[in-house]
Amino acid sequence: MLADTGITAWHWGGFVVAVLILIALDLGVFHRSARVVNFREALLWTAIWCATAIAFAVLIAPSMVADWDKEEIVEFVTGYIIEISLSMDNVFVIALIFTYFGVPRENQHRVLFWGIIGALVMRGAMILLGSALIARFQWMLDVLGAFLIFTGIKMLVSEDSEVQPEKNFFIRITRRFFPISTTFDGARFITRINHRPVLTPLALVLVMVETTDLLFAVDSIPAIFAVTQKPFIVFTSNVFAILGLRSLYFVLAEAIQYFRFLKIGLSVVLCIIGGKMLIAHWYVIPTSKSLAAVGLVLLISIGASIFAGKYHGHGRNGKS
């Protein structure tokens, strides 16, 4: 079922307005000034965002949407977990970007905040486009399924990602058309040199984070379409996953060395989801079973990573 039964423009508008209010509170109240976000605070905010997402699926949406029942709840939770899990690899790449550019820790939250604003817009557009294509061409699900399996295998056999700004098309374009300062100016993206406005290195970091999320969205958006093709569920689960990405970064950035087998787990998840899409013509795997499979793979990969890190030294992907 491609349509969202019971979903009206009021539901879309109300959700977007609520998200904008949450974002405004985040930047304008809770993180008004640039500062270091410690592990305990990040863990608390991660729990708050997760609880908010579950409350939306279990309490808020059922009270507002007439046809929102157990099926929609399971689809939302499954999609949310998939998006969160795939975001973990994104977190590691963002950590590499921050390290490469030497971004002060007190300025990292600001970059992530504006990066996530851009991610919401980009993913919203991709979801609308994907929903329209699938509604018109059912064979697109087969294409997306094959793409996810290819991506999962590629992730499994590829080496760790490296930050190479000189090969980033958008970085080259930015450097070509805008003057760039050589030093940071606090949390500013634009500063003035000799009374002329110039971009700071923090602006280049933001461009890198935005383009990185765009690349990861190419994997994560098709993955959630394997769970449901209902645009409202796809969009809301994506939004909640993105909103929690900032705090998740500050949680995982402190423990990157413990996740050496996570990449293997994510590749298996992509292959499972892609396979689910390809065999849907002959057998439809219940969403609850998909949720159980994804959760089991993630638990095994994270548990194995923690065990290996504790007893055999640290380092992601087996590197000490």
Q: Judge whether residue 313 has pLDDT over 60.
A: no
Spatial distance between the Cα atoms of 49 and 53, rounded to a whole number of angstroms = 6
Q: Residue 72 has what DSSP assignment?
A: H
For the stretch 218-228, pLDDT in tens is 777 888 888 88
The amino acid that residue 297 corresponds to is: V
Which of 138, 150, 142 is CA-nearest to residue 279? 142
pLDDT at 5: 56
Q: Judge whether residue 316 has pLDDT over 60.
A: no
The amino acid that residue 119 corresponds to is: A
What number of H helices and E strands is found in the chain?
Answer: 12, 2
In this structure, what token pair is assigned to residue 92? 């590691």
pLDDT at 230: 87
Which of 297, 292, 273, 235 is CA-nearest to residue 53? 235
pLDDT at 70: 87
pLDDT at 76: 92
- Report the run of H or E that residue 199 belongs to, with start and end: strand 196-199
Mean pLDDT of 199-227: 85
DSSP output for 289-320: HHHHHHHHHHHHHHHHHHHHHHHH---GGG--
pLDDT at 320: 40
Spatial distance between the Cα atoms of 206 and 17, rounded to a whole number of angstroms = 25
Mean pLDDT of 201-215: 87
SS3 call for 124: helix
Q: Contact 76/57 with Cβ under 8 angstroms?
A: yes
Share of the chain above pLDDT 70, in %: 88
Mean pLDDT of 79-107: 83
Q: Which residue has the higher pLDDT, 186 or 313?
A: 186
Mean pLDDT of 8-14: 86
Name the pTM for this structure.
Answer: 0.81
| Range of lowest pLDDT (69-73, 251-255, 311-315) | 311-315
For the stretch 34-61, pLDDT in tens is 667 777 888 888 899 999 999 999 988 8
Q: Judge whether residue 286 has pLDDT over 80.
A: yes
The amino acid that residue 131 corresponds to is: S
> What are the residues facing 196 on neighbouring strands?
193
For the stretch 139-153, pLDDT in tens is 888 888 898 888 888
Residues 6+ apart with CB under 8 A from 306: 258
Which of 37, 19, 10 is CA-nearest to residue 107? 37
Spatial distance between the Cα atoms of 192 and 184, rounded to a whole number of angstroms = 12
- Number of Cβ within a 10 Å radius of residue 149: 19
Band (pLDDT 50/70/90 cuts) for residue 1 is very low
Band (pLDDT 50/70/90 cuts) for residue 29 is low
Spatial distance between the Cα atoms of 144 and 5, rounded to a whole number of angstroms = 24
SS3 call for 261: coil
Which of 51, 97, 96 is CA-nearest to residue 244? 51
Band (pLDDT 50/70/90 cuts) for residue 94 is confident
